[in-house]
Structure 1
Amino acid sequence: MTANKITPAIEYSWQQYVKGDRSGALTTVFKEYQRAPQNALALLFLSTYCNDHQLEEAACAASIADELNGASLFLWSSNGVPDPIRHASKISVEKLNQFLASKHVDHTKNSTVRIQKSCWAKNQKPKPGYLKENQSPHLFFIPDLPSNGWHDTSGLEWHKYFCEKIDSIRKEIISTWHNNQMLGRPYLKQPPNKEFVEISSNKNWESFDLYLEGKRCDFFKNLEETEKALEQAPLFCIDENPEEVFLSILKSGQKIPPHYGLGNHALTIHCPIIIPDSGCSITVNKEKKHWNQRDLLAFDDSFIHHAENESQDDRVVLIFSVWHPDLKNTEIADLQSIFKKRKLWLKKRNDKLASLG
């Protein structure tokens, strides 16, 4: 994680703020942000000093701080944190939540009732009774979508087509994987918490990307059967391409600790590529399953889940996401519009912050 560092400039800005000179404090900490844009604390104080007419700028600063250091927006509730940092963290969270909640209302006002009830789960706490036991999405949540973790998609046409092609998909993916080892990357650049240290920033959990952040990757070359099969599936897309499709390699003896995924708007699909005879499993909402060489696994990753490979060999699966089958086409179109607007806002945050200078 990016280090949180209180610098002399941040300390001085706090003194200005306490004395009632909010404008001076904002000027001081903005210069510090320009000098050290990777300092998440500078962004928290920048967010705090913004006035009521600068709510979007405050939200931009808080959001970037969160990306730099996932603990930033939780410092207000942590033990041993100095009062100025605790205050800045709490105010930043409140401003970010207020801005995103108001924008979400604007973005969903013409949507179906179910989409109007949706929320950005990290910034808007779902209403009581919405979430089920062991369900806690990091990003987005839609109420009233049927799910208990695992899903049976075997009756859907795209599922049948995919299963018929598994052998040819497996053959071409293994060949491409063996010939393009340099394209692999650690799936996690940084551990979200100490439980993930063993599988972060290394090849214990490795990814070979077919699509990443909506962009087609070099690994997808020569995967004709895989591409045909993916075209049959209702892939989770914000624009014309799926957001993420990747080959996931979990090394022998490694475990992916219990965690929650991004949201319940899509199902995560696992297509088996190399599955050791024993020792490999995935558990979703306390129900353990094993990969079948000739079938897909589908689950809602907003429920707690974890995986393990206790075999002597690598476990390799192709992972992609499809829209939740209960969503109507109009709802999918609404969600794509919402996600596009969010994506555009994220891209423009730095430009918005520059207006403070």
Structure 2
Amino acid sequence: MEHQENQPPNEVEAPSEEAKEVEKELTDEEKLWKKIDEILDKYYVNEFQRMALHKFIKVKISNTDTDECERAREWLFLKVNGTKLPKEYHKRQLGCPDLVPGITIKGWWEREEFSWVSELEEQFDVIKEELMALKTETGFQPYRGPTWAGKILPKDKIGSQSNEGGDWNVFYLFLHNMKFDENCEKCPKTVEIIQNIVPRQYCHAFFSALTPGAHVMEHNGPTNRKLRLHLPLVGVEGSKMRVGDETKYPKEGECIIFDDSFNHEAWHEGETTRIVLILDFWHPDLSDAEVKFFSLLQKSKLKGEKFLTEKSKNEDNLFSIVEKTKGLIQENDSWWIT
């Protein structure tokens, strides 16, 4: 990403005189919609989606008589004005690239704030049983990101590591709206539990394993539109997690919930491998209408980015790296310590 910021000025094409004249002739409303369309272009929306979003913006977001879409409205204002940060945010959120204004600024959340969490915890034994059956199956893979996103390059030179010491392996069920069919077939009850119990799912769920001595280095999530839940399943003793300025010590079978737009990191200093179920859900402050709006943008952007990376044959992206790391772990005994 730095190479884009450091391009020489003469490579940036200045607006032509003709373009400047056209801009002058536009009304204020036309100029506003022009900026909105430029924002939508960054999300790779097609014409049908653009029409639907225009209607939604006119009917819902522009309606100041209700606060139903107040957060989406403030977010759109930020984008139109080219402002990166909302007026209010926590210093620990500075590393997050996309903050929606008006959302509760809180790193850790209490389990009791969500009535459905107790239902999920009641399914602990079922989920754990399916997890333990995976010990003799394939499907776990090293967690990796693009090379620009991490400081440690692995020996196999596939992406970058976000952990130092130990191993960080994952078993994806859903990744950014992409379903891992083969993995889901191995955990049908867990998938059903997630789909039936968790409201307003973010379509992002996986088992996350840290071996003894692993440290997931500090990082920020991509947005504050969602919250993240961990359900600790095995090997919890010796693990801890910091979100913002507060560190907590997870307990087996007891969910922890946090806003991962806050800077966070995790350690595992136990003697056995720690495995948790991780899932994301839309932030409770967002209305259903706002979830619909942001969900459309997110799905379109992910689809567009996937298409562009395939077309350009750029292999240093999340989609390619996930595919490349799928077969790296053929047996689990070496890292799954019980």
TM-score, length basis structure 1: 0.63
Aligned counterparts of 1:307 and 1:194: Cα–Cα separation in 2: 16
Match of 1:308 in 2: 267
Preserved CA contact (<8 Å) 2:144 2:161: no
Match of 2:198 in 1: 233
Deviations 1:194-245 (A, max 9, x none): 36876569971111111123222122223233123201112444xxxx1x21
| Aligned equivalent of 1:113, options 70, 78, 91 | 70
1:233-252 alignment runs, 5 A limit? 233-237=198-202, 242=203, 244-252=204-212
Q: Does residue 222 in structure 1 map to residue 186 in structure 2?
A: yes
Aligned counterparts of 2:310 and 2:269: Cα–Cα separation in 1: 48
Deviations 1:87-133 (A, max 9, x none): xxxxxxxxxxx944886896856422210212689x85114x32123
Preserved CA contact (<8 Å) 1:173 1:223: yes
Q: Describe the shift of the 1:183–1:280 C-alpha distance in structure 2 as closer, same or farther (beyond 3 A).
A: closer
Offset of residue 52 of structure 1: 3.8
Match of 1:260 in 2: 220
Match of 1:333 in 2: 292
1:36-185 alignment runs, 5 A limit? 48=11, 50=13, 52=15, 99-100=38-39, 108=57, 110-111=60-61, 112-118=69-75, 124-127=83-86, 129-136=87-94, 138-176=96-134, 178-181=135-138, 183-185=140-142
Preserved CA contact (<8 Å) 2:111 2:117: yes
Q: AA paired with 2:245?
A: K
Preserved CA contact (<8 Å) 2:232 2:255: yes
Q: Does residue 346 in structure 1 map to residue 297 in structure 2?
A: no
Offset of residue 274 of structure 1: 1.1
| Aligned equivalent of 1:209, options 148, 159, 172 | 172
Alignment coverage as a number of residue pairs: 264
Aligned counterparts of 1:228 and 1:210: Cα–Cα separation in 2: 11
Aligned counterparts of 2:111 and 2:10: Cα–Cα separation in 1: 45
Q: Describe the shift of the 1:292–1:44 C-alpha distance in structure 2 as closer, same or farther (beyond 3 A).
A: same
Q: Which runs of 5+ in 2 are unaligned?
A: 17-36, 44-52, 62-68, 154-159, 313-338
Q: Which runs of 5+ in 1 are unaligned?
A: 5-39, 54-97
1:261-300 alignment runs, 5 A limit? 261-277=221-237, 279-300=238-259
Higher relative contact order (CA 8 A, sep 6+): 2
Preserved CA contact (<8 Å) 1:269 1:298: yes
Aligned counterparts of 2:144 and 2:310: Cα–Cα separation in 1: 29
Identity among equivalent positions (%) equals: 21
Q: Does residue 318 in structure 1 map to residue 281 in structure 2?
A: no
Preserved CA contact (<8 Å) 1:115 1:331: yes
Q: AA paired with 1:305?
A: H
Q: Describe the shift of the 1:191–1:344 C-alpha distance in structure 2 as closer, same or farther (beyond 3 A).
A: closer
Preserved CA contact (<8 Å) 2:234 2:274: yes
Aligned counterparts of 2:284 and 2:242: Cα–Cα separation in 1: 21
Preserved CA contact (<8 Å) 2:166 2:213: no
TM-score, length basis structure 2: 0.66
Q: Describe the shift of the 1:51–1:224 C-alpha distance in structure 2 as closer, same or farther (beyond 3 A).
A: same
Aligned counterparts of 1:351 and 1:295: Cα–Cα separation in 2: 41
Aligned counterparts of 2:174 and 2:236: Cα–Cα separation in 1: 26
Aligned counterparts of 1:209 and 1:304: Cα–Cα separation in 2: 23
Preserved CA contact (<8 Å) 1:189 1:200: no
Q: AA paired with 2:143?
A: P
Q: Describe the shift of the 1:186–1:134 C-alpha distance in structure 2 as closer, same or farther (beyond 3 A).
A: closer
Q: Describe the shift of the 1:99–1:345 C-alpha distance in structure 2 as closer, same or farther (beyond 3 A).
A: farther
Offset of residue 345 of structure 1: 4.2
Match of 1:7 in 2: none
Query: What's the RMSD between the two structures over aligned residues?
Result: 3.8
Preserved CA contact (<8 Å) 1:165 1:225: no
* SS of residue in 2 equivalent to 1:210: strand
Preserved CA contact (<8 Å) 1:108 1:338: no
Q: Which has the higher helix share?
A: 1
Aligned counterparts of 2:143 and 2:303: Cα–Cα separation in 1: 27
* SS of residue in 2 equivalent to 1:268: strand
Using the TM superposition, name which of 325-334 and 195-204 deviates more.
Answer: 195-204
Q: AA paired with 1:214?
A: N
* SS of residue in 1 equivalent to 2:93: coil
Q: AA paired with 2:151?
A: K
Q: Describe the shift of the 1:300–1:146 C-alpha distance in structure 2 as closer, same or farther (beyond 3 A).
A: same
* SS of residue in 1 equivalent to 2:183: helix
Offset of residue 155 of structure 1: 4.3
